[in-house]
Amino acid sequence: MINGTELKKAIISGANNILKHKTAVDDLNIFPVPDGDTGTNMSMTIGSAVRELEKYGGSSAAEAAHLAAEAMLRGARGNSGVILSILFRGLAKGTEGL
């Protein structure tokens, strides 16, 4: 079973991957408005979670997931950021009781 430390590492790894490919995702952004900011918005949104998780010293997967989801909703940028935060809210809901 995954614990908070492992989940924290996984989310930070995912954030680093989004950041690494931010420009490529920006270049794919043509619908509904070709403003080229989807990768940027997603990296800024998940960056909010990383900042909070870096302060988290607990071991509960549920706490880590909820912390990340709340930080992402507060720090969401653009439609893609809101969608990403909703995905993490679902992940957090799925960890309840762990």
Q: What is the DSSP letter of 96?
A: T
Domain ranges within the chain, ordered by starting residue: 4-94
Q: How far apart, in whole angstroms, are the C-alpha atoms of residue 49 and residue 71?
A: 5
* Burial tier of 27 (Cβ tally within 10 Å: 0-12, 13-18, 19+): exposed
| pLDDT at 32 > cutoff 80 | no
SS3 track for 13-49 = HHHHHHHHCHHHHHHHCCCCCCCCCHHHHHHHHHHHH
The model's pTM: 0.91
Q: Which two tokens stand for residue 61?
A: 């997967």
| pLDDT at 97 > cutoff 90 | no
| pLDDT at 33 > cutoff 90 | no
